Amino acid sequence: MKKISLLVSGLLLASNTAFAIGDAELLKLAKDSGLKPIPKKDYPASKLTATQELGKKLFFEPRLSKSGLISCNTCHNLAFGGADGVSAVIGHKWTANPHHLNSPTVYNSVLNAVQFWDGRSPHLADQAQGPIQAGPEMAAPKELVVARVTTMPAYVSEFKKAYGKDIKITFEKITDTIAEYEKTLITPSKFDKFMDGDTKALTKAQKAGLKLFIDKGCTACHNDVGIGGTMQPFQIHAKYSYAKGDFVGNKDGMVKTPTLRNIEETAPYFHNGNVWSLKDTIKEMGSTQLGLAINDKEAASIEEFLKSLTGKKPNITYPMLPVISDKTPRPDMN
Amino acid sequence: MKKISLLVSGLLLASNTAFAIGDAELLKLAKDSGLKPIPKKDYPASKLTATQELGKKLFFEPRLSKSGLISCNTCHNLAFGGADGVSAVIGHKWTANPHHLNSPTVYNSVLNAVQFWDGRSPHLADQAQGPIQAGPEMAAPKELVVARVTTMPAYVSEFKKAYGKDIKITFEKITDTIAEYEKTLITPSKFDKFMDGDTKALTKAQKAGLKLFIDKGCTACHNDVGIGGTMQPFQIHAKYSYAKGDFVGNKDGMVKTPTLRNIEETAPYFHNGNVWSLKDTIKEMGSTQLGLAINDKEAASIEEFLKSLTGKKPNITYPMLPVISDKTPRPDMN
């Protein structure tokens, strides 16, 4: 009898430490760990404003690139998690990113404290200026971008509609407008429901995974509304550097923590897309970043939680883009 | 007095020959010239079937290509007229089409009697097999395409939903399904309304252009529902051949006449995208193809008519694509 009772209390203990924490207690623990839901006021509206609609067109517009073939959506494809599904970004003339950098998701990117892997950009409007001009990406000088847009009469009238008839269409106004669209790409998830108090929104397995995610210390970097998005010390690049010139973070070795929202949709993982399995990624983060072993079972449990971060995508009507005029600069493949 | 009366009757005569033909007479002339409207039964339905929805996903799916970066929509972009806006198709590893061929529009392509510039393909399901496998385009062997699709569980369940639980997902079934979506890309226009008897649907200038289009003999090749789409003798390639290996038509020197539907949206023109201005294209077709001069004013008038062929595009909800699994073959950039 005593033996059985000991066994039972032992099981209860194991159960308690592993996952059988009360829902209210888990919610409190999650909040105390710095995790936050997307505020309801930031949920996507059912209809875009004129500025956002124009921004959507520009986001899908390949003619912002030198070749006329690469749009923001090429590397931040809204059809699969807002990224491109390849290891290193491929751009103009099939050039791979010279630092082997992987394309981060555009979904929820407005929640990041800073932009780019090295955090060099303070916000999306500034960020959007980079890839359009970068030689290995869209490779389009500012003047070319402005010339393409301003020679398509339908764009000129849409800018007037969005900003008033005296609007001067500059490169910065174009990228600002893209950012206005990107800000709408917010994806509330079951996790947000949970954090808003609906503790039934997560499955038992997801709750166990959340508990483990917190216990292992993942929330040290993956926290706040973005479940990431701030600059943190990073060790992975030291382990997975391929060549001279590879990314090593900013001047202090800090790296922008990627958001974990929609993470199951954005393989491959890490700054260089080196790892394809989410489970392996979790284990690697444990050993290299947190200095602790995460076993297969634990990684599977955390992965189960991460799936609760896959959010509802806004309904996107594919835009119809303006017709060129005789004055529109031609595509240039070189 | 006599002088004025002569002048007036002269003006009337000019007016009559140029455009002042009665509406009913013009409609009869258009029908007699072989022009036909899109049958109402072929207008896009407001909702896609399960098969068409799946076909849409596959049409937008870059992971059907070796690199994971090029989809059907890359070269047949539904955002601008169903083509890519560049002269020669650019594919895998930034390779230009070796025969300098321009990407034809996918809108209304089901109305073509045959597919490809040389007409070697009898229908869309057969056509779709070409670019996916072609080395300079999507560069994906059949086995790779099947492996990519069948290792994404969401695709497997969508195929079952579309075709029943015993469906075997073959390369041909994948391309057949893409074709089922492409068949929905029909764009009824003001011209169709006119041909259906609503003679007010065209402006006076468009009616004058239609009359001229017929008078000049354009309808010899640009006729039927597709306003093109059949094999015809072609002279342009002889004039605009750049190099050995350039396209010269099929073994009999015949070329598939492009549809003129949405033509204002699909510059550049001709099989090799050599000419950017629609007006210049019209003049060139006159001199090289019909052996007659079309002056600037006439070309402008015909262009005005061609704009009435710009159709209403179906409302396209951008698809959300499946998540890969551990077994999904990785992108290959080489």
- pLDDT digits 0-9 by tens, B216-244: 999 999 999 999 999 999 888 777 766 77
**Nearest CB to B330 within list A96, A276, A319:** A276
The pLDDT score that the predictor gives to residue B15 is 45
Nearest of A118, A334, A315, A302 to residue A213 by alpha carbon: A302
Report the gap between the CA of A320 and the closest CA in chain B (Å).
Answer: 4
Would you state the structure tokens that stand for residue B264, as one six-digit string?
């204002």
Residue of chain B with shortest Cα separation from A85: B68
Best residue in B105, B317, B318, B328 for a mutation probing chain A (most A CBs within 10 Å)? B318
CB within 8 Å: B62 and A77: yes
Chain B: nearest CA to A35, how far in angstroms? 26
* pLDDT for res A241: 67
pLDDT at B253: 87
Look at residue A12 in the predicted model and tell me its pLDDT.
44
Q: Does the beta-carbon distance from A318 to B267 stay under 8 Å?
A: no
State residue B245's pLDDT score. Answer: 77
Which long-range contacts (C-beta less than 8 Å, at least 24 apart) are formed by B171-177? B171/B129, B171/B142, B171/B143, B171/B145, B171/B146, B172/B125, B172/B129, B174/B58, B174/B64, B174/B145, B174/B146, B174/B149, B175/B125, B175/B126, B175/B128, B175/B129, B175/B132, B176/B125, B177/B51, B177/B54, B177/B55, B177/B58
Best CA proximity match to A61, nearest among A148, A123, A126: A148
- What distances in angstroms separate CA B134 from CA A91, A199, B139, B176, one per listed residue? 21, 52, 5, 17
Query: What is the reported pLDDT for B87?
Result: 96
Determine whether A226 is exposed, middle or buried from the number of CB atoms within 10 Å of its CB (0-12, 13-18, 19+): buried
What is the DSSP pairing of strand B95-96 with strand B90-91? antiparallel
Separation of first and last alpha carbons in chain A? 82
Query: Residue for token digits 């200038």?
Result: B205
Name the residue among A68, A85, A267 with its Cβ closest to that of B85: A68
Domains of chain B: 20-42+187-307 (1.10.760.10), 50-182 (1.10.760.10)
Identify which of B69, B86, B315 has the shortest CB distance to residue A86: B69
User: Which positions in chain A touch B313 (Cβ < 8 Å)?
Assistant: 320
Q: What ipTM was predicted for this assembly?
A: 0.93
pLDDT of residue A16: 43
Burial letters for A162-171: b for 16+ Cβ neighbours within 10 Å, e otherwise?
A: bbeeeeebeb
- Minimal Cα distance from A74: which residue of B? B69
Q: Among residues A148, A104, A146, which one has the least CA distance to residue A129? A: A146
Separation CA A311–CA B206 (nearest Å): 49
d(CA A237, CA B17): 76
pLDDT, position B241: 67
Closest residue, chain A, to B330 (C-alpha): A86
Cα–Cα distance measured from residue A289 to residue B132, given in angstroms and rounded to the nearest whole number:
41
Amino acid A178 reads I
User: Residue A148 corresponds to which amino acid?
Assistant: R
Chain-centroid distance of CA A34 in Å reads: 19
Which pair of structure tokens corresponds to residue A184?
């709408």
Q: Are B110 and B183 in contact (CB under 8 A)?
A: yes
Q: pLDDT tens digits, residue range B29-66?
A: 999 999 999 999 999 999 999 999 999 999 999 999 99
The residues of A whose Cβ lies within 8 A of any Cβ of B are 60, 62-63, 67-69, 74, 77-81, 84-87, 90, 93-94, 96, 264-265, 267, 276-277, 313, 315-321, 323-324, 326, 330-331, 333
Percent of chain B with pLDDT over 70: 93
Q: Cβ B323–A85 below 8 Å, yes or no? A: no
CB under 8 Å to A327, separation ≥6 — which residues?
A151
Which of B194, B198, B231, B240 is closest to B213 using CA atoms? B194
Instruction: Let me know how many helices (H) and strands (E) chain A has, helices first.
Output: 14, 4
- The pLDDT tens digits along chain A (334 residues) read 444 444 444 444 444 444 568 999 999 999 999 999 999 999 999 999 999 999 999 999 999 999 999 999 999 999 999 999 999 999 999 999 999 999 999 999 999 999 999 999 999 999 999 999 999 999 999 999 999 999 999 999 999 999 999 999 999 999 999 999 999 999 999 999 999 999 999 999 999 999 999 999 999 999 999 999 999 998 887 777 667 778 888 998 899 999 999 999 999 999 999 999 999 999 999 999 999 999 999 999 999 999 999 999 999 999 999 999 999 999 999 9
Selected for mutation to probe chain B from A86, A93, A184 (highest B CB count within 10 Å) is A86
B9 confidence band (pLDDT: 50, 70, 90): very low
Q: What is the DSSP letter of B115?
A: B
What are the pLDDT digits (tens) for B145-204? 999 999 999 999 999 999 999 999 999 999 999 999 999 999 999 999 999 999 999 999
Q: Is B331–A96 a contact, with Cβ atoms under 8 angstroms apart? A: no
Q: Residue A2's pLDDT is what?
A: 46
Q: Which of A61, A282, A318 to mutate to test the interface with B (most CBs of B within 10 A)?
A: A318
The verdict on a CB contact (< 8 Å) between B319 and A79 is yes
For residue B94, give both structure tokens.
């930034």
Record: contact B318-A323, CB cut-off 8 A: no
Interface contact flag, B318 A79, Cβ < 8 Å: yes
> What does pLDDT average to over chain B?
93
In chain B, what are the helix, strand and coil shares in percent, each to the nearest 5?
A: 45, 5, 50
Q: Which residues contact B289 (CB under 8 A, 6 or more apart)?
A: B221, B234, B235, B236
What sign results for the dihedral spanned by CA atoms A135, B82, B267, B109?
positive
Torsions phi, psi for B272 (to 5 deg): -115, 15
**Interface with A, mutate which of B71, B95, B315, B323 (most A CBs under 10 A):** B323
B330: which chain A residues are within 8 Å (Cβ-Cβ)? Answer: 276
DSSP for B256-291, please give it.
Answer: EPPP-TTGGGS-SBTTTT-B--HHHHHHHIIIIIIS
Tell me whether residue A265 is one of the annotated catalytic residues: no
Tokens of residue A110, six digits: 């407005």
Q: What is the CA radius of gyration of chain A?
A: 22
Would you call B321 and A96 a contact, using CB atoms and an 8 Å cutoff? no
Q: Which of A61, A137, A303, A304 is catalytic?
A: A137
Backbone angles phi, psi at B297, to 5 degrees: -65, -40
Number of CB pairs, chain A paired with chain B, less than 8 A apart? 89
H-type alpha helices, chain A: 2-18, 23-32, 50-59, 72-75, 124-127, 129-133, 142-150, 153-163, 171-182, 190-195, 204-215, 236-239, 278-284, 296-307
Task: Select the residue of B63, B90, B326 nearest A277 (Cβ to Cβ).
Answer: B326
Q: What angle do the packed helices A204-215 and A23-32 form, to 10 degrees?
A: 40
d(CA A260, CA A227): 6
- The torsion angles phi and psi of B249, rounded to 5 degrees, stand at 90, -170
* Top-confidence residue, B11 or A218: A218
